Amino acid sequence: MALKHLIETFAAWKEAGGRLVLGTVYETAGSTYSKSGSRVLIDGEGNYQGLVSGGCLEGDLAEHAAAVLESGEARSVCYDMRGEHDILFGTGVGCDGMLKVLLQPLSGEGERPWAPLARMAELAMGSEASRCAVVVEGDEAPVGSTFLDDEVPAEHPDGLHTLENPARKVLVYPLKSIPRLLVLGAGVDAVPLVEFAERLGWRVTVCDHRRSYLQRGDLGAAEAVRELRPEDIAEHIDLDSWDACVVMSHHLASDRSYLAALANRPIPWVGVLGPKARRERLLRELGEGAGDLHGKLRGPVGLDIGANDPASIALSIMAELTETYTKRIRG
């Protein structure tokens, strides 16, 4: 589950007075659905958001979460599905892997019990990546103790660490900010793009100068919708805080104005709709004003999957963007 949706679910369930448990995968071996740092949120009724498996373990995790809520203490659960262990455990999923999950109770009086996930949400909504460290095993330090951002010792690299003083096992993992997508152009083909991006956990803002486009009412998946003229975009939008931008006004002069504003900005991924000849014409007309767009402007944007309608084009764009973004954050 995307961090954006986990945070939204957390806020809604907390507001409704739910009793919540945060599950975090902290160790894996062999073939597993998820890896260290994956999370699932479970409420007191056994409902969950997020997955640590393909759905085969979450029901059992919900039972363990109920026990955690009863005791108020964090605990770890190990699922070993390698060879005969799978038969003994009784899942029969054949994943041939092992994973350990830490379950932390989040419910309680005041803000302290909610602090780990609430602080994660605050950091993730920013523009800078940070780190998280959580005690997953140990007798001399409370299991579930969580440290965030500058509380995480710089000498501890990401991964699972066994410490001697005090004796404990600590998982350190990166906490990425929620990716942000700027869509410049609000035609009907922007709708599936916005919906796909939001479903994949992106924060999306749409801008267009045509009020009628913005008032159609079909851009509800966007976090924000702004009515701005292309030549005013740099004045009203911080163009240094985006992970990606798609220019899709279907109007040559508007696209040229957008691209002029995007040139030499630190946005790592910029795409424009239309054939290669259109992209080259835009760059040629921008002249020296194209700046670094010569090396990073993608057009036609999207993977070549034979897309020929708004939904499939949006799918191709998000496929390329997901591939590029994932490779970038993994280094």
Rounded average pLDDT over 249-259: 96
Q: How far is CA 117 from CA 23, 39, 57, 66, 259, in A?
A: 11, 11, 22, 19, 38
Percentage of the chain with pLDDT > 90? Answer: 57
pLDDT at 1 over 70: no
Q: Is the dihedral of CA 288, 291, 293, 294 positive or negative?
A: positive
Contact yes or no for 89/95 (Cβ under 8 A) = no
Domains of the chain: 3-175 (no CATH), 180-329 (3.40.50.720)
Q: How far apart are CA 222 and CA 209, in angstroms?
A: 16
pLDDT tens digits along 230-242: 999 999 999 999 9
The widest CA-to-CA distance across the chain, in whole angstroms, is 68
Residue count of the chain: 331
Q: Do 39 and 56 touch, CB atoms closer than 8 A?
A: no
238: Cβ–Cβ under 8 A, 6 or more apart, which residues?
none
pLDDT tens figures, 171-201: 998 888 999 999 999 999 999 999 999 999 9
> What are the tens digits of pLDDT across the range 61-70?
999 999 999 9
Q: How high does pLDDT run on average in the chain? A: 89
Quote the pLDDT of residue 112: 59
* 54: confidence class by pLDDT, cuts 50, 70, 90: confident
Is residue 111 pLDDT above 60, yes or no? no
What string of H, E and C letters represents the secondary structure of the chain?
CCHHHHHHHHHHHHHCCCCEEEEEEEEEEECCCCCCCCEEEEECCCCEECCCCCCCCHHHHHHHHHHHHHHCCCEEEEEECCCHHHHHHCCCCCCCEEEEEEEEECCCCCCHHHHHHHHHHHHHCCCCCEEEEEEEECCCCCCCCEEEHHHCCCCCCCEEEEEECCEEEEEEEEECCCCEEEEECCCCCHHHHHHHHHHCCCEEEEEECCHHHHCCCCCCCCCEEEECCHHHHHHHCCCCCCCEEEECCCCHHHHHHHHHHHCCCCCCCEEECCCHHHHHHHHHHHHHHHCCHHHHEECCCCCCCCCCCHHHHHHHHHHHHHHHHHHHHCC
Banded model confidence at residue 89, pLDDT cuts 50, 70, 90: very low
Per-residue pLDDT for 80 more than 90?
A: no
Q: Residues of the chain with pLDDT > 70: what percent?
A: 92
Q: Tell me the per-residue pLDDT of 125-173, one tens digit each, with 9 for 90 and over.
A: 887 888 898 898 887 668 888 888 888 888 888 889 888 777 788 999 8
Contact 92, 128 (CB under 8 A): no
Distance separating alpha carbons of residues 20 and 108, to the nearest angstrom: 9
Residues pairing with 47 in the sheet = none
Look up the pTM and report it.
0.88
Amino acid of residue 131:
R
pLDDT at 93: 53
**211 has a pLDDT exceeding 70:** yes
Residue 328, pLDDT > 60, answer yes
Q: Report whether pLDDT(87) > 50.
A: no
Q: CA neighbours within 13 Å on the CB side: how many for 8? A: 13
Read off the tokens for 236.
């009203």
Q: How far apart are CA 201 and CA 318, in angstroms?
A: 11
